[in-house]
Amino acid sequence: MEKFLYKKEILIDDSGWGDLILGVVIGALKLPDRRYMERRIPLSSFQPPNFQSKRYLEDAVKIAQEIVEVMKPDEETVFKVCSGYVLSSVRRYLRQQGFTVEEVEVTGELQEMVERSFANWCKEVGIDFEKINKKRSFNTFIEWVAERPHLRENLVKTGWKSWNDRWRERVYNMKR
């Protein structure tokens, strides 16, 4: 059991990957001293042509480099990184740097912090989903974009195939 308890850990999680709008927030929490940092992968990385070239994976690595620079992990530090796809390049990068990396499902404090950061980003652009439907959901974002599609489409992950094949036309044709 002792081998699974680490004295030094850095947890990394993301929020926004599956959401229609904005980019992705990546947060890191260093334990035991509870240092937290977060950065954003910009929306432009999820729009053409950047989305097709998976620019978001390069952006995630740049954030990982900054996490290492700021949090100064040593050889005893274990990185516990969320299993999500957007962090696959982070896990690979950290392993290439010689760090011990575990792929995990992040829950608890870090997850809440990163989710709150994404919610705050939403509020910055004018959507407070807690007030709209009391929850964050794909439909909440679709309805929000449909209220003013000509203004709000620029906040959508337009690189998604489903946006162009299905959702864009529906949003522009929804009753307002």
Q: What are phi and psi for residue 109, nearest 5 degrees?
A: -55, -50
- Tens of pLDDT along 13-39? 999 999 999 999 999 999 988 999 999
- Tens of pLDDT along 123-146? 899 887 666 656 678 888 898 899
Both tokens of 58, joined, read 């390069």
170 belongs to a structural domain: no
Handedness of CA 57, 58, 63, 65 (dihedral sign): positive
Query: Using CA atoms, how far apart are residues 43 and 122, in angstroms rounded to an integer?
Result: 12
Residue 4's pLDDT band (boundaries 50, 70, 90)? low
* CATH number of the domain encompassing residue 53: 3.30.420.10
- Mean pLDDT over each residue of the chain, to the nearest integer: 91
Query: Using CA atoms, how far apart are residues 24 and 148, in angstroms rounded to an integer?
Result: 23
92 belongs to a structural domain: yes
172 belongs to a structural domain: no
Query: Using CA atoms, how far apart are residues 173 and 169, in angstroms rounded to an integer?
Result: 6
pLDDT of residue 2: 45
161 belongs to a structural domain: no
pTM, 2 dp: 0.90
32 belongs to a structural domain: yes
**In which order are the strands placed within the sheet that holds 100-104?**
35-41, 24-31, 9-15, 78-82, 100-104
- Tens of pLDDT along 146-161? 999 999 999 999 999 9
Q: In the predicted model, is pLDDT for residue 176 greater than 60? A: no
Structural domain count, the chain: 1
Residue 1's pLDDT band (boundaries 50, 70, 90)? very low
- Domain coverage including residue 25: 2-122
For residue 41, the cross-strand partners are 24
